[in-house]
Amino acid sequence: MTEHRSPDARFRTSLLEENEGPAINPTDNRTMGEIIAARFSRRGFLKGSLAVSAIAATVSPLAMIAADDARAAEGSAFKFDELQAGIDDKHHVAPGYDADVLLRWGDPLFADSPEFDPTKQSAQAQAKQFGYNNDYVGYIAIDGSAEHGLLVVNHEYTNPHLMFPGIVSIVEKDGKKKAEVAPLSKEQVDVEMAAHGGTIVEIRKEGGKWQVVRDGKLNRRITSTTEMALSGPVAGHDRVKTNADPSGTKVFGTFNNCAGGVTPWGTYVMAEENIHGYFSGELPEDHKEAANYKRLGIPEGAYEWGAHYDRFNLAKEPNEPNRFGWVVEVDVNDPTSTPRKRTAMGRFKHEGAESIVAKDGRVVFYLGDDERFDYVYKFVTKGAFNANDHAANKDLLDDGTLHVAKFAEDGTVDWLPIVFGQGPLTAENGFAGQADVLIETRRAADLLGATKMDRPEDIQPNGVNGKVYVMLTNNSKRKADQVDAANPRAENAFGHIIEITETDGDFTATKGKWEVLLKCGDPSVADVGATFSTATTANGWFGMPDNCAVDSAGRLWVATDGQGPKATGRTDGLWAVDTEGAARATSKLFFRVPIGAEMCGPLFAPDDQTAFVAVQHPGDGGEDWDGFGRPSYYEDPSTRWPDFKPDMPVRPSVVAITRQGGGKIAV
């Protein structure tokens, strides 16, 4: 019988701790904090008190000069009246804008889809409805239209205590109310599995408002049981063969799809992130995959799938985890196509796969490994993108070079190729070929001496200014002996943003330069050492940068994950961040989510007249919010957003933000 555990323990309801598993990078590779400290202390920027010198050391010198010279609000590239930060059970958007719910968990996607009934859920129904915990949102135009296209959405994970009635009981422990969750039935696990994956759905803008085309011929659900193919160097390797697939080429499903991307040739890529939570059981004694799995935190056993399906039980299928942790590519123009796991792009806890076409036509994908003390990557295709021949781009992602970043004190970054036979990636270190290198991408990067980062999440190349923006969410496990003048926080609770400039503006370059664009947190608290400009208001600062977007004008928008009553006194949201000129490092709040939710997406339509955002796990938690003050679960949620009906549970949803009266956003 499965042990009764609280929602906090089983389903990561604490947003700050979503990726706060055991520290599993065993190397002594240098951390980004150490490099920042060494770089700026050597350059002589450390002056005055600890807090003041920290600010001086971590913000770009250009931003410091700009802050002294001119911080008037009119210097910002963003023209909107800022929203007030806060916490309540609703979503809010800046004045003059509408934020309309477009898609909710359980919404029908096909002509024959059943209507959502939360009391009669089934895997069959869920497979024809919008999935749970929408994360990445992408847009693929139909016939080049900015008002008619396909919305592609990842469904990262599930929160059973908010999904299913009758499974939570409230008990009193140590004077506090705690929620205990009963084991899930096989039928409930099947619903979970159908709620994972992704959605492809046709949408159309009519009368200034977006509508779902329920009978769209390209509409599709991808789930944890959808048949997929392994492609690239790992396909057919012994380490991915199982009893169910002795060929090592066919995988069922994808899960924990966090951020993602849309390729220049119009396919949808889904990044598999925290795959460790889905596996349970124990490896046979002295199994050869033991070290490999330990480096990825496998098994965690947060989900109960292994109790019902052998493939998630390591004792029965020890190779199954090697078939997850990849980037999945989907041809959206063929709803019957087989998605392909592109193994050349490496295996780790992928956060996003945003891309850009380089000067020579090759395509560069930037990839974060969302774990404390793990790495930043980029993948460069061998072949060039052909805009005039869709078929020619079909397998670009099966051949290319994966690189990992090593940041230096002098402000340069080296992109180290992860290629078998080069440097330490040899048989002497346990690699028999490129397939082994890719299956154990983290260990390969360890050996190359990559720089340990503070949870790399979304990484966004900017085709307008040639920069690359790296979101580093936080790292509360930084030890006290790492504290120094340039890195004053023993626990990096608020994260920071790094800006990379590739050499000669060439995104395929193996060397570039880096600066810290922002160190996040409340700038009014000196010891925090936040580096927002002085024009940033009390509503404009944020912590825990996670997803991001660059609109067609090249402006940066940042979504957060982990704010809340205890962490920041405000909910997560979407902030506009200036990166150029006098207003550099100025931030303004544009949208905020209801209590318990994480801000995902964001995505701008090609004409910049719509911002799509994903509100994930609304209503999660509740104990720390004075407005609720108790555990939140299906029967008693901290919000009933977005329906606010007594017979409807809280529902993760995608929201479409438009300007009242029409026009581009924030201009």
Rounded to the nearest angstrom, the gap between the alpha carbon of residue 206 and the centroid of all alpha carbons in its chain is 31
pLDDT at 74: 60
Is the pLDDT confidence value at 487 over 90? no
pLDDT at residue 8 is higher than 90: no
> Which pLDDT score is estimated for 23?
63
| Higher pLDDT, residue 38 or 482 | 38
What pLDDT score was predicted for residue 285? 85
pLDDT at 62 over 80: no
- Mean pLDDT value across residues 604-626: 96
Predicted local confidence at residue 299, as pLDDT: 97
Residue 553 — pLDDT band, cuts 50, 70, 90? Answer: very high
Residue 124 DSSP one-character state: H
More confident residue, 478 or 419: 419
Read off the pLDDT band of 284 (50, 70, 90). confident
Q: What percent of the chain has pLDDT above 90?
A: 82
Asked if 516 and 33 count as a contact pair (C-beta separation under 8 A), the reply is: no
Q: Is the pLDDT of residue 294 over 70?
A: yes
Judged against a pLDDT cut of 50, whether residue 70 lies above it is answered with: no
Pairing of strands 340-342, 227-231: parallel
**pLDDT (mean) for 539-556:** 98
What Å distances lie between residue 392 and 395, 397, 574, 584, CA to CA? 8, 12, 37, 41
Check pLDDT > 50 for residue 55. Answer: no
Q: Which of 636, 615, 480 lies closest to 7, judged by CA?
A: 636
Q: Of 226, 200, 77, 178, give the one whose Cα is nearest residue 131.
A: 200
> Which range has the worst mean pLDDT, 22-36, 103-117, 488-502, 574-588?
22-36
Residue range 614-629: average pLDDT?
Answer: 95
Is residue 511 over pLDDT 50?
yes
In the predicted structure, residue 394 carries a pLDDT above the cut 70: yes
Buried b (16+ CB within 10 A) or exposed e, 307-317: bbbebbbbeeb
Please tell me the distance from the alpha carbon of residue 62 to that of residue 585, in angstroms, as a whole number: 10
Confidence of residue 49 (pLDDT cuts 50, 70, 90): very low
> From the CA atom positions of the chain, what is the Rg in Å?
23
Asked which of 73-87, 338-352, 612-626 is least confident by mean pLDDT, the reply is 73-87
379 token code pair:
């993948």
Mean predicted confidence (pLDDT) in 549-573: 96
User: What pLDDT is attached to residue 489?
Assistant: 53
From the CB of residue 349, how many other CB atoms can be counted at a distance below 10 Å? 25
- 345-349, 405-409, 511-515, 603-607, range with the lowest pLDDT: 405-409
Q: SS in 3 state form for 517-533?
A: EEECCCCCCHHHCCCCC
Q: For the ranges 52-66, 157-171, 563-577, which has the lowest average pLDDT? A: 52-66
How many other CB atoms are found less than 10 A from the CB of residue 570? 22
Assigned token pair, 329 = 């590519």
Percent of the chain exceeding pLDDT 70 equals 88
What gap in Å lies between CA 84 and CA 66, rounded to an integer?
25
% helix, strand, coil for the chain, step of 5: 20, 30, 50
Q: Which residue has the tokens 């912590």?
A: 543
- The separation between CA 612 and the C-alpha centre of its own chain, rounded to angstroms, equals 15
Q: Is-contact 625 570, C-beta < 8 A?
A: no
> Pairing mode, if any, of strands 653-659 and 610-616?
antiparallel
Question: How confident is the model at residue 482, as a pLDDT?
Answer: 57
Residue 664 in tokens: 């581009």
Task: Check whether 362 has a pLDDT greater than 60.
Answer: yes
**pTM exceeding the 0.85 threshold for the entire prediction:** yes
Choice between 34 and 321, residue whose per-residue pLDDT is larger: 321
Sign of CA dihedral 325, 326, 330, 335: negative
CA 241 to chain centre: 29
Buried b (16+ CB within 10 A) or exposed e, 597-613: bbbbbbbbbeebbbbbb
DSSP state of 193: H
CA–CA distance, 555 with 578 (Å, rounded to integer): 7
Q: Which residue has the tokens 């991408």?
A: 441
Average pLDDT of every residue of the chain: 90
Whole-number pLDDT of residue 459: 97
β partners of residue 514: 500
Lowest mean pLDDT segment, chosen from 301-315, 401-415, 471-485: 471-485
pLDDT interval class at 37 (50, 70, 90): low
